[in-house]
Amino acid sequence: MTTLVLVSHPQLADSTSQQFLKESLPDDDIIWEHIESLSSLDVAQEQAQLRRADRIILQFPLYWYAAPAGLKQWEDTVLTRTFVYGDHRYPLADKELGIVVTTGMPRQAFQRGGAEGVTLDAALAPLAALAHRAQMRWLPVFPIYQFGYLEEPEKLQLVVDYQRYLTQPQPDSLANRQDWFAQRLDGMVARLAEDQRTTGRLIASVFEQNREQIDQLHDTLAMIKEQDDD
């Protein structure tokens, strides 16, 4: 799966959250682009990139309940009517559109009655409408509230949650989560120092046993339910 991450931020180098996310990028097939760094927008190249990707991520800080102006300019230039739907070819159809949005306010601000009085889903409605028009699949938004206040355990969690948002098949079920980790476990064990590999392999084997046990329990339950129906 190819994931295209389009980052919009007017001062990327000054943003600790964006630098953190860049450092957290997984080793998978990821194309990363910072919109404001492009000296000019090569429409054909941008559109080709969109065609290549299976999952497209728009990543930005929330400025007045919307993406920064750079992203809007990119949309208005690259997403021409003919490209998105005009010729009825729908080149973006069935691709997934995900939004990674950072906010300066906490989670509870983004609800009715909260300090912002609007949910993120409501604020990002224009992008969801775009996904709908392009026949794309809209992913649940990935919000990062008040990055500056996150403690180390939360940041550690954010690394993997972000990686999974970029590369893990949806929906975010236990089965899909298990598959995601299973695909990476061998590689992660191989990265361990030699004296740690036995522990790593042991952890991997317990993980695998647990996975099989859950599968078996599902099978047993399905059998019981089938008998109950008879």
Partner 1 sequence: MTEQSQWLSQQIDQLAAQQEKFTDRAFWLALKQVVAEQDRRSEQLGGEVDGRTWRPDRW
> Residue numbers of the site for partner 1 (CB under 8 A)?
23-24, 153, 156-157, 159-161, 174, 177-178, 181, 184-185, 188, 191-193, 196, 199-200, 202-203, 206-207, 210-211, 213-214, 217-218, 220-221, 224-225, 228
Closer of 80 and 216 to partner 1 (Cβ): 216
Amino acid identity for residue 73 in this structure: Q
Residue 14 vs 23, nearer CB to partner 1: 23
Q: Which is nearer to partner 1, 11 or 157 (CB)?
A: 157
Choice between 108 and 196, CB closer to partner 1: 196
Q: How far is the CB of 184 from partner 1 (least distance, A)?
A: 7
| Closest CB to partner 1 among residues 88, 225 | 225
Cβ 62 to partner 1 shortest distance, Å:
25
Residues in the chain: 230
Give me the least distance between CB of 3 and partner 1, in Å please: 17
Q: Which residues lie closer than 8 Å to 217 by C-beta, 6 or more apart?
A: none
Residue 174 CB, shortest distance to partner 1, in Å, is 6
CB of 79 to partner 1, least distance (A): 33
Residue (13 or 174) nearer to partner 1, CB: 174
Rounded to a whole number of angstroms, the minimum distance from the CB of residue 55 to partner 1 is: 20
Residue 59, burial from CB neighbour count under 10 angstroms (0-12, 13-18, 19+): buried
**Distance between CA atoms of residues 71 and 12, nearest Å:** 13
Distances (CA, A) of 154 to 148, 149, 157, 162: 11, 10, 5, 12
Q: Where in the chain does DSSP place strands (E)?
A: 3-7, 30-34, 55-61, 96-103, 137-138, 142-145
Q: DSSP per residue over 77-90, as a string?
A: HHS-HIIIIITS--
Do 166 and 26 meet the contact criterion of CB atoms below 8 Å apart?
yes
